[in-house]
Amino acid sequence: MKCRICNREALEKYCELHEKAYRNIVQKYDSWKRAMDVSWKEYLNEIAKNPYTGSWAKEVAEQLLKNEDR
Ligand SMILES: [Zn+2]
């Protein structure tokens, strides 16, 4: 199986590096949600446009936004 973002070998949806970034995003969302009322999509948008976001996390956020149809 290939990573949904890059073409590296993936364990599940993502390769090791994108998986790590994805977990960070999910983890951070919990504290964001507690601090302010922000939706998952708004949160992903914030990550994607934040110039300080690492490129791995940014790629994951963009990928999630593209596939988020809920
Ligand atoms: Zn990847």
> Over the stretch 24-70, which tens digit does the pLDDT of each residue have?
999 999 999 999 999 999 999 999 999 999 999 999 999 999 986 54
Distance (angstroms) between ligand 1 centre and the Cα of 70 equals 23
Q: Which residues contact 67 (CB under 8 A, 6 or more apart)?
A: none
Domain residue limits at 50: 18-67
How many domains, the chain? Answer: 1
Residue 10 falls inside a structural domain: no
Amino acid at 5: I
Distance (angstroms) between ligand 1 centre and the Cα of 32 equals 25
Residue 55 falls inside a structural domain: yes
Residue 28 falls inside a structural domain: yes
Residue 57 falls inside a structural domain: yes
Residue 61 falls inside a structural domain: yes
Distance (angstroms) between ligand 1 centre and the Cα of 6 equals 4
Residue 11 confidence (pLDDT): 87
